[in-house]
Amino acid sequence: MKTIKELLHQEAVQPYLWQARYGVEKESQRITTAGTLAKTDHPHVLGNRAYHPYIQTDFAETQLELVTPVAETVTELMRWLAALHDVAYRSMPPEELMWPMSMPPDLPEKDEEIIIAKLDTFEDVLYRRYLAKAYGKRKQMVSGIHFNFEFGADLLQNLFANQTEYTEFADFKTAVYLKVTRNYLRYRWFLTYLFGATPMSNERYFMAEDAPDEPVRSIRNSRFGYTNHNDVHVSYESLAKYLADIAQMVESGKLSEEKEFYAPVRLRGGKKVSDLAQTGIRYIELRNIDLNPFTPFGISQEQVEFFHAFMLYMLYLPENAAADEWVAKGDTINNFVALERPDRLTEYVEEGMDLVAGLKAMAKDLRLPLPTDFFAFVENAFVDPNQTFAARLYEATKENAIKWGRDIAKENQEKAWAKPYQLAGFTEMELSTQIMMFDAIQKGVHVTVLDEQDQFLQLRFAGRTEYVKNANMTSKDSYVVPLIMANKTVTKKVLAKAGFRVPEGMEFSDMESAMLAYPKFAKTGFVVKPKSTNYGLGISIFKNGADLADFKEALAIAFAEDTAVLVEEFMAGTEYRFFVLDNEVKAIMLRVPANIVGDGKHTIAELVAVKNQDPLRGTHHRSPLELIQLGELEKLMLKEQGYTTQSVPKDGEIVYLRENSNISTGGDSIDVTDEFSADYKKVAADAVAALGAKISGIDLIIPDKEKSANKPKAYGIIEANFNPAMHMHVYPFSGKSRRLTMDVLQFLYPEIN
C-alpha cells in the first residue's frame, strides 16, 4: 500500500499539486481616531448583517468580520480582501478606523461598556451572552484570521485513483484532512513562532486575571488566549470519534452547543458539525492565525502561499505517534513557544530547522512552482528571531502601542479613500462596473465576476440571480433594444415615427458616394459620425460647414469606426445627457467638450498635459474623467480655430479640442438634474419608452432650457445609448453626485434597503 508521500510523487498527480481553494474570515475592531473602541452601531449602510455574505459582526458590536468568497487562486483571494476592506472603510464614518492588531486597544473599565453584537435573532444574542459569562467579554475582543483551506479537487481525485485502501472518495478525503489536521496540530507551533503577533496586551485586558509575563510571541495562541475550558477534550483519531466526543461534551454540559468547540483547526463539511457524518470533511478552517498588522488586510499573499505549502507538507509528512498523543504533544509545544520572549530563538529551533529543510526538500522533490527565495524568510527567522512578526511588533509598539496601531489604521483608511471611485482589487475593470460592484458588496449582494474583460457580473440576492454587463445592460431590456440603439438610422426612424424631433441626414456605405453629396452640406452645419458607435468615437462636428478636404478627412475618421457613415444636420444648442431608468429621468448631465484655458505662457500641448495631471482623469473608463488626447480629431478642431498644438492661447481664453462633449473624449461633466423642468424629463423618458428600453442614456440638443419643451424646435434628439456611462454621474466634474449604480441595483432588487 502506497503512502501519501509516495502518491504525491506520482506523475499523474504532479499537475495538480499547487491546486487549492481558499477563503478568509478576518476580524477587526472598529475604533475612534483617538484609539478607543467605537461607540457607534454596526454601519447601517451595510444592509442587514443577518444575510450579508461579506461583512458581518463577530462577538461585539464593534467587531467587524470580513468574509471573502471562495477563491481558486491566491491572487483572487487577495483581490477580494482588498475590495472588502475598501467597502468596509468607505462604509464607516470618517472618524472611525479598523484596529490592525489582534489584541484589542484599551478596553473600558466596565464590562457592560463592551456591547454584544445587536443581532436580529434572539438565539444569536443569547449565545453571545453565554460566551460572555463563560469566558469573559474581554477575551472575546481578540481578533484574528480564520483561514479556510481545501485541496484541489483534481489533486484529491488523482490521489484517490492511485490508492487501494479506500473504496469511497468521501472516506479517502476525510482521511486526508484528518491526517493534515493531526500533523497541523502537532506542528502549529512553527506558525506561532513565525507569525504570532500578539506579544503584549493593552490597558484593562487581563484586569485581575492571571496574565503571562509579557512580552511573549502570541497571547492569543497560548493558554491565556480564547480557548475552551480544560475539561473539554476531543479526539482527532477518526471522524466518528471526533463527532462522538463533541456530542458528549454538549450532553455533559461542558459545551453549550457543538459550535462552542474552539479548536485551532475546525473540520468543515456542512452547516453544522454533526453534518460531517453525512458529508465527510470538505475543507479545514485554521483558526490560530494572528492578524498581520504589517499588511493592510491582516494577512499577506506571501503568508497565504506559505500556508498552502505548509498544508501540503502536513499531508506529505508521516505521523510518528498515536493520534491523541501526537496532538497533545503539539498542544504542549505550541503553548510553550507562544509564551517565549519574541526576541529570542525558540527552544525548539532544532525541530524548526528540520521542518524548514523538510519543506524545501518537498518543494524540490515535487517540483512545486515556487520562487527560489520562497523559504528565505522562514530560514532567516530561525537564525534571527527579530525577523518574526512578534518581535517586530513588540519593537514597534513597546513605547506606545495605541499610537502605533492608530497610525497604521489611519494609513490603511487613507489608502481606501485615496481613489473612492475605484474598487481595490478590481481596478482594471470599467469604472461604472467597479462602482456597481462596490454598491452590491456594500448591500450584501453576492457578486461573481464571470468575465473581467467583458465586464460581465452575476448577482445573487433575495433568492434571485441577475446577469449584468457593463453595469447597466440587464435582463430588463430585451435583446433587440441595444440593436436598435446601436443602429443610429433605426433609432432616428423609430423616434421620428413616435413624434420626436431628430436631425435630418443621409447614410453612406462608401467614401465615393459620400463625397458626391458634399455640396448638400458644404454651406450648412453638419455632423459626420459612424452609423454604429459609442463613447463619441469617430464623430466630427462642423457648425458652419467645411471645405472639401476637411469633409473628406471627417469621413475617413468615421469609416475607420464603421462600414456605414451618417452625415446629419447640425442642431444648434447645448447637448445634455439624460439618464433614464424604468421610465424616470434619474440624472441630467451637461458635458462640456474637452478644453483648456490659456494663460498666455504655455502652448496648448503643455496646457493639455497639465490638465491631464488631475487625479480624476485616466484612461479606459477607470477614472471619472478621461485624459484629453491630441489626436487627429483634436488637431482638426484646432485647425478650424486657427490653432496648432504649439499655439499659445491668451490668458483666460477657452480653447476647445473637441466638438462632441463626450466624457470619454476628455470632456467635463456637470450635473444639472435639478435645473430642468418636468416637461424635458418627460420628453426623454417617453423617447426611451418609444425605443422599448428600460435603461438608456439619451442625448438632447436644447437651445434654451428655460423655454417649454413643447415649443417648436425646443429640442432635438441626436442619440440614444444602450450602455450609458454612469460613473460621470456618480463622480461629476461639478454638481451633485447621482448614485445611478445603486438605482440600477434597486431596480433589479427592490428588496435592497
What pLDDT sits at residue 469? Answer: 97
537: pLDDT strictly greater than 90: no
Which of 569, 586, 608 is the last residue in one of the domains?
Answer: 569
Establish if 249 belongs to a structural domain.
no
Report the domain count for the chain.
Answer: 4
State the maximum Cα–Cα separation within the chain, in Å, rounded to a whole number: 98
C-alpha cell at 325: 498523543
**Residue 374's CB: how many other CB atoms inside 10 A?**
17
Which of 415, 433, 450 is the last residue in one of the domains?
Answer: 415
**Mean pLDDT, rounded, for 73-78:** 98
> How does pLDDT run across 152-163, given as a tens digit for each residue?
999 999 999 999
Establish if 483 belongs to a structural domain.
no
Q: What percent of the chain has pLDDT over 70?
A: 99
Same domain, yes or no: 45 and 63: yes
What pLDDT sits at residue 133? Answer: 93
> How does pLDDT run across 549-601, given as a tens digit for each residue?
999 999 999 999 999 999 988 888 999 999 999 999 999 999 888 999 999 99
What pLDDT sits at residue 437? Answer: 98
> How does pLDDT run across 463-495, given as a tens digit for each residue?
999 999 999 999 999 999 999 998 888 999 999
Distances (CA, A) of 548 to 98, 540, 552, 553: 64, 14, 6, 9
Structural domain boundaries, residue 179: 4-227+262-415
> How does pLDDT run across 390-428, given as a tens digit for each residue?
999 999 999 999 999 999 999 999 999 999 999 999 999
Rounded to a whole number of angstroms, the distance between the first and last alpha carbons of the chain is: 59
> How does pLDDT run across 591-629, given as a tens digit for each residue?
888 999 999 999 999 999 999 998 888 887 778 999 999
> How does pLDDT run across 634-668, given as a tens digit for each residue?
999 999 999 999 999 999 999 999 987 778 889 88
Average pLDDT score, the chain: 94
Q: What is the CATH number of the domain that holds 211?
A: 3.30.590.20
Q: Where does the pLDDT of residue 532 fall: very low under 50, low under 70, confident under 90, or very high at 90 and above?
A: confident
Same domain, yes or no: 645 and 533: no
Establish if 668 belongs to a structural domain.
yes
**Mean pLDDT, rounded, for 114-142:** 93
Same domain, yes or no: 268 and 359: yes
694: pLDDT strictly greater than 90: yes
> How does pLDDT run across 245-302, given as a tens digit for each residue?
999 999 999 999 999 999 999 999 988 999 999 999 999 999 999 999 999 999 999 9
Question: Which range is least confidently modeled, 227-231, 337-341, 378-382?
Answer: 227-231
Q: Where does the pLDDT of residue 347 fall: very low under 50, low under 70, confident under 90, or very high at 90 and above?
A: very high
DSSP H or E stretch at residue 747: helix 740-748
DSSP H or E stretch at residue 486: helix 480-486
**Mean pLDDT, rounded, for 338-359:** 98
What pLDDT sits at residue 508? Answer: 94
**Mean pLDDT, rounded, for 429-441:** 96
Same domain, yes or no: 519 and 665: no
What pLDDT sits at residue 664? Answer: 82
What pLDDT sits at residue 1? Answer: 66
Establish if 494 belongs to a structural domain.
no
Establish if 753 belongs to a structural domain.
no
Same domain, yes or no: 43 and 146: yes
- The torsion of the CA quartet 518, 519, 520, 525, rounded to 10 degrees, works out to 80
Same domain, yes or no: 438 and 398: no
> How does pLDDT run across 52-69, given as a tens digit for each residue?
999 999 999 999 999 999
Same domain, yes or no: 324 and 440: no
Same domain, yes or no: 212 and 343: yes
Establish if 497 belongs to a structural domain.
no
The values of phi and psi at residue 559, to 5°, are -65, -20
Same domain, yes or no: 107 and 75: yes
Which of 521, 554, 569 is the last residue in one of the domains?
Answer: 569
Same domain, yes or no: 557 and 675: no
What pLDDT sits at residue 283? Answer: 97
Same domain, yes or no: 582 and 629: yes
Q: 389: Cβ–Cβ under 8 A, 6 or more apart, which residues?
A: 194, 195, 196, 197, 290, 292, 294
What pLDDT sits at residue 533? Answer: 66
Establish if 74 belongs to a structural domain.
yes
What pLDDT sits at residue 535? Answer: 64
Same domain, yes or no: 322 and 174: yes
What pLDDT sits at residue 534? Answer: 65
What pLDDT sits at residue 505? Answer: 86
Establish if 659 belongs to a structural domain.
yes
Rounded distance, CA 123 to CA 685, Å?
A: 49
Rounded distance, CA 327 to CA 461, Å?
A: 42
Q: Nearest to residue 708, comparing CAs of 690, 683, 673? A: 683
What pLDDT sits at residue 591? Answer: 87
